[in-house]
Amino acid sequence: MSRLTPALLTAALAVPTAHAVTPESLMDDYTKEAHHSTPTFNVPSAALGQHFFEKKHGEWSCSSCHTTNPAAPGRHAVTGKAIAPLAPAANPKSFRDTARVEKWFRRNCNDTLDRPCTAAEKADLIAYLLSVRKGG
């Protein structure tokens, strides 16, 4: 229990509930969380994030809906509905609300990976999306 309590505190601090966040601050939060949960994790990697984004984990990849150009609008793989660009450079609303970000990680990681994404994967993914310039 003595080991568990600090871990809980760290987890609670790593995911703030305040809405005034930026993609960079979210990436930093996930990085701190990853240092705790994934000892081998060092710094967020845009290259690993891109690999994760484009890799088919089962039936789907992130890019199945968001396309391999996250600066462009995506399209839902099942319904065909347009999806706003994911890259912050192309969408100022992207990664600005912790609850919204966590909701979509929850839903989409479950669909794509059949498990929650790790903090390390989230940090890498945001690093990649931040590296994408407008126009792709």
Partner 1 sequence: MRAIRVVAILALAAPALPVTTHAADVYAEECGACHLAYPSRLLSAADWGRILDDVAHHYGVDATLDEPARQIVAQRLGLPLPAASTAPATLPRITTSRWFVDEHDDVSVATFRSASVRSAANCAACHAGAARGDFDEDDVRIPGARP
Please give the residue ranges that form the binding site for partner 1 (CB under 8 A).
1, 3-4, 7-8, 11-12, 14-15, 33, 37-38, 76, 78-79, 81, 83-84, 99, 103, 106-108, 110-111, 114-119
CB atoms within 10 A of CB 62: 27
User: Which residues are CB-contacts of 131 (< 8 A; sequence separation ≥ 6)?
Assistant: 46, 49
Question: Which tokens hold the place of 62?
Answer: 């992130």
Shortest spacing between CB 69 and partner 1, in angstroms: 19
CB 52 within 8 A of CB 125: yes
CA distance 126 to 86: 10
Question: Which tokens hold the place of 104?
Answer: 């979509």
Size (the chain), residues: 136
Question: Is the CB of 73 or the CB of 131 nearer to partner 1?
Answer: 73
Question: Is the CB of 15 or the CB of 131 nearer to partner 1?
Answer: 15
Question: Is the CB of 83 or the CB of 131 nearer to partner 1?
Answer: 83
Shortest spacing between CB 62 and partner 1, in angstroms: 14
Question: Which tokens hold the place of 10?
Answer: 């760290």
Cα separation of the two ends of the chain: 48
Shortest spacing between CB 1 and partner 1, in angstroms: 5
Question: Is the CB of 48 or the CB of 131 nearer to partner 1?
Answer: 48
Shortest spacing between CB 121 and partner 1, in angstroms: 9
Shortest spacing between CB 75 and partner 1, in angstroms: 11
Question: Is the CB of 33 or the CB of 124 nearer to partner 1?
Answer: 33
